[in-house]
Each structure stands twice: as structure tokens, then as C-alpha cells.
Amino acid sequence: MKPSNFVHLHLHTSFSLLDSSLRHEALFKRAAEFKMPAVAMTDHGNMFGAVDFYTGAKKYGLKPIIGCEVYVAPESRHDKKDKHDLRDASYHLILLAQNEKGYKNLLKLVTLGYMEGFYYKPRIDKELLSEYAEGLIALSSCGRGEVAYNVNKENIPRAIKVADQYRDIMGPENFFLELQNHKMEYQEKINNELVKIGNKLSLPLVATNNCHYLDREDFGAHEILLCLQTGKTMSDQHRMRYPSDEYYFKSPEEMAELFRDIPQAIENTLKISERCELEMDFDKLNFPDYPVPETYTLESYLVEQTNKGLGERFQEMNKLGITYEQSLYRKRLQDELSIIERMGYPGYFLIVWDFIDYARKNGIPVGPGRGSAAGSLVAYSLRITDIDPLRHDLLFERFLNPERVSMPDIDIDFCMHKRDDVIKYVSEKYGGSQNVSQIITFGSMKAKGVLRDVGRVLDMPYGEVDKIAKLVPDRLNICLKDAFKEELRFDRMKKDSEKVTELLDIALNLEGLHRHCSTHAAGVVISSKPLTNFLPLYKFPSKGKGEQDEVVTQYSMEGVEKLGLLKMDFLGLKTLTVIDNALRLIKESLEVDLDISAIPMVDSETYKLL
């Protein structure tokens, strides 16, 4: 098969939550089978999946084109009133990043859609687009794009005016009139007029297919997905639905046939893809700058603070009568510092030391350490952890290994009631909310949950669906495919009922798709520059009057880490709060100032109480 001359440039992945069932892996596999040189992602109003999409496409030998289908306010993004009889008070527009400048501008536009323009949807406006147009290619989008919308309303003069505006904003070579053919009459009318407008204004045409699922056969499961998004059931006459089953990932041959009379619209997909040359850099560390005193470097300040801290640890060991060999500690410390310096992480340790030092000085209980970080003598000397790695025979290499280049990862437990105080301190120190943010996480449709979701949309009785869901074995991360093999009653139920067969087939199709997004319980990212230089931000609607909006990154923990940003886990632990309360009560009632860290781990009297 010769290389394809068509590239999909309007495509929604499963990160268009509950609107698309296109999974990255299946998408890349199919694009590679079709010999497509590239593929674009243009999710609705977000860039949640950009890092995963980029790395995944590269693995399949495809050029990843990072884009977004943005929502554009009919007038100002600040005007939050229902006008123009327009669904979601917005039009659609496809934006594709040509290069790093375009990618960074897209990050800002998508972020500002949430921060400034949110009304039903995250909206930008033409003013913002004018400011951040460099490096971007725009396509006029589907029937809900402003040009096509006015054509469909038979307001051709307005459609021409809008197309002319976008040409002026983007530049004549960076704005394309988008043709779609899902075999519907109204699209033929729109396409004919768009061709005329293109000729009149010398604007190029491009063919797309608005992909929302992989195969035509996935149309039924996609209908269920839309019902989940809108809270409807399949029996609802007014539910949201797509007018045909043509919104799948079509082959180049299918697209060429659909647009055989306008071959340049197909050819332009390849020309656009060739212009998109974004390279994302995953090899650079983007840590914030820790402010060291004058005459110090990060390295020399870390050495000084670590040696000072180790000396204090020696004093504590002497006081408690613990025997130790000082030369072993000194050598281990020197070895660790050498590795930390070689790998470029002195700043990381100083930042963590600083906010833990702030917590301790302000009476905020801090955990003794968890995970592989407990194997670091540097961390112990800086009181990042309270576990002596030599005494407990713990390996530093499990935490930081020069043979396996990976970011250090220190999870820190704080008192659950005062964790936010530490986050606030970090935010204020490193530039405020534009430089420090919590991190997004995504919930997916698991085996039992997806059965219940689909059953509800199919109007099946709750008791029947619940009985079926309970057949899935209670095992962590079990999938329906394995459940069907292990539990033979599923087969019997399928033979007895077409409705159950439909339920199980659709649930299997939708299982694992992203269902919602939320704030990660512990993850915080810290940058020395505005985060929108590296990633887009997302804003959850406020929970009530007077409540502050919650802002998080649009990239998950893994994406944040790949970009070389400093990611920390600030865990709120109830146990620390309970211990802190107990120590306070002991001091108040018995006038005993108890040091919890000095209690011997082998105290027999304590174990008798358990």
C-alpha cells in the first residue's frame, strides 16, 4: 500500500469526555494500517491528552498534530448572556499547532477559555485569537463553526464577512474553509457555498470527517456514551444524538471518494500536516529556581545544609545512646551528594527541604517518610525524612539511580488540616497560582460501573442490572473480558436475553473510557515560570457562592513529569493529626513534652497495648 495522501485533522479522542470513544492506541494502530503519515487530536475545548497523544503517535511512526476544537464567543468572551439563539453561546473553530510558538499560544488560548470566557463552555473570542494567532492554523470547523452556521441560516453576506475576519486574524495561508460530508443534505448546501466563498476570498479548502469513534459499528455504543454525558436514556425522544453513523475514522479511500469533485480539499490535509512540525522536549528539567544566599551555588548550599543536618543527627544519636560509625555516614553522604549533583537535582532537594522546614517551624506535623525516599541519607540529614537509612539497611539506589534516569519522587505526609498551609507557602514563594497548581486526574469506567451506567441508559430495571454487575469478581482492576471468562453465568444470560447481550456488548465497548476529571488527592506542580509556558490549565466551576474556583493542570501526573516540571505529592494524613492531638493533650493534662520520634520501635510495653 502506498503512503496515504489524506490526514485526519478534525478528530476527537476519548479525552473529549463522554463525547468520543476513540482510544489513542486503537487510533494509532488504524492510522498506521492506513499508511497515514500523521494524525491530529482536536478535543472539545481541552488538551487533556496532548502529551500521551504525542508520545503514542511517535511510537507508531506517526507525526502527532496537537490541536483543539475551541469554542468562540459570538462577541466578547466576557459577555456571559444568552444571545443569538446559539447553543452553548459559542461557535466552534479548529486550531492546530504548527510549531513551538503555536503550541504555546494554544496553551494560553485553551487556558484563558476556562479562566476568562467560561459560560456553558470554555470560550475564547476573536480578540484573544488575534493576540495568540502566531504559529497556528485554523479550520472553520463543522456545522457549528461560525462560517458554516451562517451559511446554513442562509446569511451568506455574514458568512463571507466572518470568513474574511478569520483570514485577517490568522493570515490568508493559515485559515482553511472546512468541508465535511456525513451524507446529510444540509452539509451539501454548506459545502457548495463554502467553495464559492473560498473562490471569492481566495481561501483554501480542507476535507475532514469529525471523527468520534473508530468503526461505523461503534455508532450504537457512541449513542449510549452521549446519553451518559447528557443524563438521558435511549428512550428519551429529545436526547442528544448524531444524525448519522458516518462519524468514524474513515480510510483515505473513503475520504477521497466523498470529495472526488474537490480533490484539493484532500490534498490540503497533507499540506497542512507537512507544515505542522511541533517537537515537544521531554529531556529538559524545568525546576523552579531555589533562591540560595549570595556567594553560594545550589550545589554548595546543599552540601553545607546537609553536612550541618548530619551533624545534628549525630548529636541526637549520642543523646539516645545509639552507636554508629561516623566515617560510614560521611562516605555515604558524599556518594549521594555526588550522584544528586551529577543528575542535576540539588535544587529539587533544597525546595523540598525548604517547605518541610517551614512546616516543622510552624507546628505542622510532618510524616517520617514513605517510599524509596527513606533510602536517602541526604533526605534524612535535611529532615525531609526521619528514617536512618544506614541503621535500617536501606538503599539509596532504589530512590535515585544514575543507571536509570528518572525524576526523584518524594511523597510527603502532612497533617490533613494544615496541608493547605504548606501548599499556600509554596505557592507564595514560587510566584503564586500562575506558577503553582494542583494536578488533574481522570476517572474511568470500570467493569462494574460501566455495566450499571449502560444498564441505566438502556432503561433496564435497576435490580436486574445490579444482579449482573455483582457477577463481576471482586478483584482490583479486573476487566470485563476476564470477568466473562471466569463467570460462566454471563454466557447463559446472553443466550437467554437480547437485552443482556446488548448491555454486555456495549459495556465491553465503553469500558476503560475516561468518564470525568477531578483534582488529584496529593499532586502539586511547582514552576519558576508561568505554568502556561508548559501546559494548559483547567478550572472547575465553583461549588457555591463565595467559594474559590479550583484550578488544576490539564495534564495528568505522568504528563507533568514528562515535561520536566517539579511534581510533588502533598498528602494529607489523618493519622498525623490524631498523633499531634494526642501529644498536645498529654502535654496539657500531664505536663509531659513527649517526642514521638524518640519512642523506641521495639518497646515491649507499647506492643502489649496493641
Tens-place pLDDT, residues 107-155: 999 999 999 999 999 999 999 999 999 999 999 999 999 999 999 999 9
pLDDT of residue 407: 78
The dihedral formed by the CA atoms of 289, 293, 299 and 303, expressed in degrees to the nearest 10? -130
Q: Model confidence at 543, in pLDDT bands (50, 70, 90)?
A: low
Lowest mean pLDDT among 291-295, 307-311, 515-519, 600-604: 600-604
Q: Is residue 536 over pLDDT 90?
A: yes
Instruction: Over range 211-223, report the average pLDDT.
Output: 97
Which residue type does 472 have? Answer: V
Topology match between the domains 24-214+249-275 and 443-516: no
Three-class SS state of 268? helix
Q: Is residue 546 over pLDDT 80?
A: no
Give the strand pairing for 537-540 and 91-97. unpaired
Number of helical H runs and strand E runs in the chain: 23, 13
What is each CA distance from 452 to 44, 219, 456, 460, in whole angstroms? 26, 20, 6, 9
Instruction: Over range 478-503, report the average pLDDT.
Output: 91
How do the domains of the chain map onto residue ranges? 24-214+249-275, 298-440+517-609, 443-516
3 state SS for 369-421: CCHHHHHCHHHHHCCCCCCCCCCCCCCHHHCCECCECCCCCCEEEEECCCHHH
Instruction: List 516's β-bridge partners, or say none.
Output: 443
The distance in angstroms from the start CA to the end CA of the chain is 71
Three-class SS state of 524? strand
pLDDT of residue 89: 87
Cα–Cα dist 101/536, whole Å = 14
pLDDT of residue 320: 85
**DSSP code at position 219:** H
Burial category of 233 from C-beta neighbours within 10 Å (exposed 0-12, middle 13-18, buried 19 and up): middle
pLDDT of residue 3: 75
Closest CA to 567 of 442, 438, 378: 438
Instruction: Over range 503-526, report the average pLDDT.
Output: 94
Q: Are 175 and 166 in contact (CB under 8 A)?
A: yes
Q: Model confidence at 494, in pLDDT bands (50, 70, 90)?
A: confident
Interval 332-350: pLDDT, tens: 999 999 999 999 999 999 9
The three three-digit cell numbers of residue 248, written as one number: 468514524
Q: Is residue 10 over pLDDT 90?
A: yes
Instruction: Over range 158-183, report the average pLDDT.
Output: 96
pLDDT of residue 1: 55
Q: Are 280 and 107 in contact (CB under 8 A)?
A: no
Assign domain 24-214+249-275 one CATH number from 3.30.70.3000, 3.40.50.2300, 3.20.20.140, 2.60.40.10. 3.20.20.140
Most confident of 7-11, 81-85, 359-363: 7-11
Q: What number of other Cβ atoms are within 10 A of residue 540's Cβ? A: 14
Interval 34-83: pLDDT, tens: 999 999 999 999 999 999 999 999 999 999 999 999 999 999 999 988 76
Q: Is residue 263 over pLDDT 90?
A: yes
Q: Model confidence at 608, in pLDDT bands (50, 70, 90)?
A: confident
Measured CA angle at 216 (ends 195, 210), to 5 deg? 35
Q: Model confidence at 84, in pLDDT bands (50, 70, 90)?
A: low
pTM of the model: 0.92
Which residue is associated with the grid cell 554548595?
300
Percent of the chain with pLDDT over 70: 98
Closest CA to 212 of 6, 19, 374: 19
Interval 242-255: pLDDT, tens: 989 999 999 999 99
Q: Is residue 547 over pLDDT 70?
A: no
Report CA torsion sign: 176, 179, 180, 185.
Answer: positive
Measured CA angle at 441 (ends 22, 352), to 5 deg? 140
Interval 418-442: pLDDT, tens: 999 999 999 999 988 899 999 999 9
Mean pLDDT of the chain: 93
Q: Are 56 and 25 in contact (CB under 8 A)?
A: yes
Question: Cα 331 to chain center, whole Å?
Answer: 42
Three-class SS state of 489? helix
What is the CATH superfamily name and number for domain 443-516? Bacterial DNA polymerase III alpha subunit, thumb domain (1.10.10.1600)
pLDDT of residue 544: 56
The three three-digit cell numbers of residue 533, written as one number: 509556558
